[in-house]
């Protein structure tokens, strides 16, 4: 994916949220306040653009619940995010707190 890709503000916000460790769909909704009808299609688009990559959680780690799908930002995604932050300076202010490890 070309790193000069232009992301929408919403996509950039979601990408930034994932880069801060909020890797599950519902967690991204909680942090950004965006509805599921916005977050999930954006995740699909980002994944198709290879800016994020999804993997299934290890079943052994998921106790008493089905394994969840989590997303992580790829190298191309990081580059796209850097360009997006330059493009949307306010995105820096909206930066969510990094997710505490182990949550």
Task: Give me the residues that bind another protein (CB under 8 A), please.
Answer: 24-26, 29, 35-41, 44-45, 48, 62, 64-69
DSSP string, 29-94: HHHH---HHHHHHHHHHHHHTTSEEEEEPPTTTS-SSPPPEEEEE-HHHHHHHHHHHHH-THHHHT
Q: Are 89 and 16 in contact (CB under 8 A)?
A: no
Quick one: 49 or 96, whose CB is closer to another protein?
49
Q: How far is CA 11 from CA 57, 101, 103, in A?
A: 23, 24, 24
Report, in Å, the least distance between residue 33 CB and another protein. 12
27 or 91, CB closer to another protein? Answer: 27
Least distance from C-beta 14 to another protein, angstroms? 13
Closer by beta carbon to another protein, 62 or else 82: 62
Distance CA 83, CA 38 (A): 22
Task: Give the residue with the Cβ less far from another protein, 59 or 90.
Answer: 59
Q: Closest approach of Cβ 49 to another protein, in Å?
A: 9
- The CB-of-92 to another protein minimum distance in angstroms stands at 28
């Amino acid at each position: 994916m070309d790193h000069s890709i232009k992301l929408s503000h919403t996509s950039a916000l979601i990408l930034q949220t994932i880069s801060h460790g909020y890797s599950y769909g519902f967690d991204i909704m909680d942090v950004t306040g965006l509805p599921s009808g916005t977050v999930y299609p954006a995740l699909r688009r980002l994944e198709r653009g290879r800016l994020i990559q999804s993997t299934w959680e290890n079943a052994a780690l998921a106790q008493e619940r089905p394994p969840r799908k989590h997303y992580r930002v790829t190298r191309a995604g990081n580059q796209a995010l850097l360009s997006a932050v330059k493009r949307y300076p306010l995105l820096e202010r909206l930066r969510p707190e990094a997710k505490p490890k182990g949550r």
